[in-house]
Chain A
Amino acid sequence: GENVEQHPSTLSVQEGDSAVIKCTYSDSASNYFPWYKQELGKGPQLIIDIRSNVGEKKDQRIAVTLNKTAKHFSLHITETQPEDSAVYFCAAYRGGSQGNLIFGKGTKLSVKP
């Protein structure tokens, strides 16, 4: 079945620097890859997503890239701010009758002022 690996598990950056989180997936049939941000005490919220027919997608300071051949995708956050501090999850859509997401184990991002 599908498996999603996420690295690093923790990431600390200085405010204003960039942060990159990487994920790999195993099922070549996966075609949808969302990223979620989970702030302390809250549920995960979708921040950006990408489909397998697109190589890159940007939304202001965040971007996601997808390399379908290598089966990996990455989240890029530029000009980081303290409010970017959170746990980030990547996910791959499993498809089929179960039709749900397989999540990576999460990356705790800390942005130091």
Chain B
Amino acid sequence: EAQVTQNPRYLITVTGKKLTVTCSQNMNHEYMSWYRQDPGLGLRQIYYSMNVEVTDKGDVPEGYKVSRKEKRNFPLILESPSPNQTSLYFCASSLTSGGSSGNTIYFGEGSWLTVV
């Protein structure tokens, strides 16, 4: 079964305590990305990766880091979380970066992060 798996699903943390949200896909997809979803703002892209060792900033990258050492994994790192990073985070993957009916984007189930 095609899956994008994120962990943890729920996390409450304190300001400044480094945390990592893991993401793994089992479809051998090249393209992976992270989004955050906030009320009234929809889904906004944080970082994306075209392939292994190729990552780049999305629309709202401040305060985040990513790495892509293996094709299947794309962790999101918050080095020093702040309350404005309280949000619902989604990892997503697709075969390539192209937009077409044959290149469906699959989303994980989401990670609720609260920074106090």
Contacts and interface: CB of A to CB of B under 8 A. Distances in A.
B45 A100 contact: yes
A51 B108 contact: no
Nearest to A45: B107
Nearest to A50: B101
A43 B90 contact: yes
Contacts, number: 65
Interface in B65-116: 90, 92, 96-101, 104-105, 107-110
A98 B101 contact: no
Interface in A30-63: 31-32, 34, 36, 41-46, 49, 51
A51 B99 CA distance: 9
Interface of A: 6, 9, 31-32, 34, 36, 41-46, 49, 51, 89, 93-95, 97-101, 103-106
